[in-house]
Each structure stands twice: as C-alpha cells, then as structure tokens.
Structure 1
Amino acid sequence: MRKLLIICTVLMTTLSFAQDKDKEREEKLKLEKATNYVYEGNELVDADNYISAEMEYRKAISKAPSVVAGSYNLGSTYYEKENYDEALYRLKLAADNSESKEEKHKIFHNIGNILMKQDLCEMAVESFKNALRNNPTDDETRYNLAIAKQCAEQQKKDQDKEEEKKDEDKEDEKKDEEKKEDEKKQDPKDEGDQDKKEGDDEKDEEGKPKDEKDKGEGKEKEDNKQKGKPKPKPGQLSPQQIKNLLEAMNNQEQKVQEKINADKQKGVKVKPEKDW
C-alpha cells in the first residue's frame, strides 16, 4: 500500500511537470508567433499598407498580449501619419499591457507628444511625468515636460481671460436689458401720443386747434368792440378833434375875459365871440 502511494505521487509529479513543460512550450510558441506578426506588420508599414499592418499587429496582440510591440508599433505608425486619435488609442493599449519600465517610459513619452499635438497640454504634463517615473534620467522627456507646463499655464491664462470676457458680455447684456426696460417705462412715443391726445382735446368741434379758435374769437371781439364805437361821418369832427377844439375855445374864452376886464378898466366894450 505504501509503495502504491509512492508510485502515485511520482506519477502525479511527473504529470504536473509535463503539463508545466507543455504550458511553457505553448507560451513560447505564442510569443514566437506574436513576434512574427509584429515583424510582418512592420514590413507592411514600410510598404504603406497600414490596413494589412493593423491586422498583423492585432494578431500579435491576440496571441500574446504581453508583447506590446504590436500596439506600440501600430500607434507609432499612426502618429507618423498624424492620425493622432488612433495613435493615442493604440499606445494606451500598449501601456495597459506593458510590464517593463523601459517600455512604459517610451509609451508615455509618445502619448505626451500626441497630446501636445492635440493642444491638450495639461494632460501631456501628466503623461510626461509618468514617463519620468519610469525613467527619471531621460533629458528629452524632462525638456518636453517643461514645454508642456508652459503651454498648460498659457492655456489657463487664455481660459481665464475668456471666462472674464464672457462674464463682461453677460454683464453688458444685463445692462442692455435693464436699459430697454427703462426705455419701455419712459417711451417717448407714448409721451408723444399723450401730448397728441391732449392736443386733440384742445381742438374744437370743427377740428381746429382751440388756441387758434381763441385767437380768432379775440380778434372778432376786438373788431366788434371797434364796431361798437361811433365812426365819424364825412364832414364831421372826430371826438379827439372836438376835445382839442373845446380846449382851444376855453383858452380863447379866458383870453377874451381877461381882455374884457381890461377894457372895463378902460371903458371900452367888445362883443363876445359866439359859441360854436
């Protein structure tokens, strides 16, 4: 019984070892196939056949996701062709599958460059920082990080100015609305209509302005007043002429009286002038 247990144990160990060997061979085979797909993809890229190259890279990724060369190379190819959205997608896949710091450094460095091309400076700053975390000695990445920071700061200033301008525009719109409301409350047209209405009230039944009618009535009254005065007939004196004549006669009568008194003193009689 004891020998049987030993034999079983040996067989199980041998079987397990054999299975591990099979898995190793299988993994090795997958890596070899994935590498071959990557090479084929690279050759297709050199021939500008990007559609076929993408298919080969996809095969490489499906066979061995740990082989990031497929996604990385395809992403780099799209970057060269300025297809930045697709390049960014492929490089992110490569970063997710990569376990090597050196690979991660290259991937995040390229991702940062793509983000800079898309004017996403703040995101590029984070990507370059990730690249330096995996390789702090890379001067090129450090330089790109400094440029990305300057770009992000400038974009922040421009954004603040734009927000400030929007606030000013909103304030101006608000003032314009308030001004329009005030104008509605004091509309000159309404005042003109009111004045017109008041003016219409001053018109008489014939449609003539009352002021004009009053002037006409005043003139008519004055004319009637003048008509009420007796006008001198031809050959007759006017009242003023009669007044002047009476004053002259009084003066003359006074002189005559003085002369009579003087004659009385002398004893001479004179005839008095007749009354008019």
Structure 2
Amino acid sequence: MIERTSLLIFFLLVFWSINAQDSEVTNQIYEGNTRIEADEFVEAEMAFRRALSKSPERTEALYNLGNTHFNEQDYEEAKQRYFQTQKFADNSTSKHQAFHNMGNVFMKQKDYAKAVETYKNALRNNPQDEETRYNYALAKELLEKEQQQQDNKEQDQQDEQNQDNQENKDKEKDGDKDQDSRENKEDNESDKGEDEKDKKDEGNQEKDNRSNDGNNQKKNQQPQKPKQTELSPEQVKSLLEAMNNQEKEVQDKVNAEKIKGTPIRGRKDW
C-alpha cells in the first residue's frame, strides 16, 4: 500500500513538474510575443531563448524567435530558426508557416531561386494559401528576369569581347596597310629614281645618237674623191693625138710670135 502511494506521488510530482515547466515555457513564449508587439525585440529574443533553454524543440518558441530575428533584419538567424521549426513541427500548418517565412527571408536576400523552392514546399503543406501563391509567382517572375539580365550581361560581355577582338584585328590590318603603304612608297620612290635614271640615260643616249648622226652627216657631206674612169685604147689614142695636135699648135704659135718680134737688122750707112 505504501509502495503504491509512493509511486502515485512520484507520478504526480513528475506530472506537476512537467506541467510547471511547460507552463513556464508557455509563459516565456507569451512574454516574448508581448515584447514583439511593443517592438521590444531584444527583450522578446531573451524571453524566447529562456523558453528554448527548457524546451529546445518547442516550435512556437523557434518560430517566434525566427520572427524576432526577421524584424531585426538578422536574416541568417531567422532562416535557421524557421528551418528548425519545420524540422520539429508535427503538423502541416506549422510546416507551411515556417517554409513561407523562410521564403520571405530568401526574397529579402534576393536569392530568388531558393525562394521559389521554399515557397513550393510551403504550398505542398497548404496549396490554398493565397499569400504564399502570390509570393511564389513573384519570386518566379523575379528569377526569370534575373536570368534574362544575366544572359543579357553575358551577351553584352561577349559582344564587347568580340568588338575588342575586331578592333584589335582592324588595328593589325591598319598596321599591315601602313607597312604595305610605306613599302609601296619606298618601292615607288625607288622605281621613280630608276625611271628618272632611265630617262636620263635615254636622254644621254639620244644626245649621243644626235652627236653620232651629226658626225655621220658631216662625214656624208664631205666631198668624195672622184672615182677614176678607165679609158679604152681608142680613147687613149684619140686623146694623145689631140694632145699632140694641141701641143703642135701651141708650139707653132710660139714660133710665130718669135719671128714677128725679132727686129730686122739693116745696114748702116756711115
């Protein structure tokens, strides 16, 4: 009888202790919520932590502590508390609320891909929640826009890279053209010098030709020696006879003049 009484007292004490502890945790959670309404977030955080020190898996304390961190813009701590809430929650309502608020954290961090996945998990636990559905659609739209902007940025970078490559190629071509132009100019100047030299040589050659032509003309204009004409024997004979006759005539004439000019010697009478 005494043993039964002692055992009953033990269970009553345990039950009372559990109820007392649970009541204390509940009171701490209530105090924390009151502090949140008064925007006393530091005091609210302390109250929720006291509750969790006695009941680490108490989802109400975890969830409300997450909300406190969210209001303080401590998004990493808030995200951790929401994750713990959905982990220890034993009903879809608590899981939905934890995933929904975790999605809000990702939205604040502009991590739209994770926000989309987190809102999906929230909708799996409560497909009819309009606010979650709206947030999911918004996160999806922002994700698509972000991806489009990223694609455009990459395309712009690629276009800029292509433009830089094209400009470098154009500069190389211009450099080659300038080099070719300089080489062509040098070749043209060299050819011009050779042409001028050729023209000068041609002028000298023409001058020499004119000089040679003048010399040849002078040589051609000089009197040529008469060619000797061969006479036939008859012509030689006739010529000799003519010469003899002419010589005789001359001699006769000379003799006649001598006779005519000689004084006649006469006698002188003394």
- TM over 0.5, yes or no? yes
Choose 1 or 2 for highest CA Rg. 2
Contact 2:92 2:126 in 1 (8 A): yes
> For residues 43-192 of structure 1, what are the structure 2 equivalents within 5 Å?
43-159=34-150, 165=155, 169=159, 172=162, 176=166, 179=169, 183=173, 187-192=176-181
- Inter-partner Cα distance in structure 1 for 2:69 and 2:55: 21
Contact 2:112 2:139 in 1 (8 A): yes
Partner letter of residue 93 of structure 1?
A: Q
In structure 2, what is the equivalent of residue 258 of structure 1?
A: none
User: 1:45 deviation in Å?
Assistant: 3.6
User: 1:49 deviation in Å?
Assistant: 4.1
- Inter-partner Cα distance in structure 1 for 2:185 and 2:5: 117
In structure 2, what is the equivalent of residue 259 of structure 1?
A: none
- Inter-partner Cα distance in structure 2 for 1:104 and 1:166: 43
In structure 1, what is the equivalent of residue 245 of structure 2?
A: none
What do the CA deviations read for 1:64-106 (whole angstroms, capped 9, x no partner)? 1232233322322343454444432332232223223322222
Contact 2:96 2:125 in 1 (8 A): yes
What do the CA deviations read for 1:15-43 (whole angstroms, capped 9, x no partner)? 77666555444433332333333334334
Unaligned runs of 5+ in 2: 222-270
Contact 2:119 2:132 in 1 (8 A): yes
For the residue of structure 2 that corresponds to 1:66, the secondary structure is coil
TM-score (norm 2): 0.58
Partner letter of residue 191 of structure 1?
A: D
Contact 1:65 1:97 in 2 (8 A): no
In structure 2, what is the equivalent of residue 257 of structure 1?
A: none
- Inter-partner Cα distance in structure 1 for 2:182 and 2:8: 108
Q: Which moved more, 1:58-67 or 1:85-94?
A: 85-94
Q: Once the two structures are aligned, what percentage of the paired residues are identical? A: 33
CA RMSD of aligned residues (A): 4.4
For the residue of structure 2 that corresponds to 1:209, the secondary structure is helix
For the residue of structure 2 that corresponds to 1:187, the secondary structure is helix
User: 1:227 deviation in Å?
Assistant: 4.3
Contact 2:44 2:68 in 1 (8 A): no
Q: 1:140 to 1:48 in 2, by over 3 A?
A: closer
What do the CA deviations read for 1:87-127 (whole angstroms, capped 9, x no partner)? 32332232223223322222222222333333333433332
Unaligned runs of 5+ in 1: 1-6, 232-237, 243-276
In structure 2, what is the equivalent of residue 42 of structure 1?
A: 33
1:217 to 201, 207, 211: 201
- Inter-partner Cα distance in structure 1 for 2:178 and 2:14: 95
What do the CA deviations read for 1:185-210 (whole angstroms, capped 9, x no partner)? x923443465467568x59xxxx933
Q: 1:199 to 1:146 in 2, by over 3 A?
A: closer
- Inter-partner Cα distance in structure 1 for 2:12 and 2:170: 87
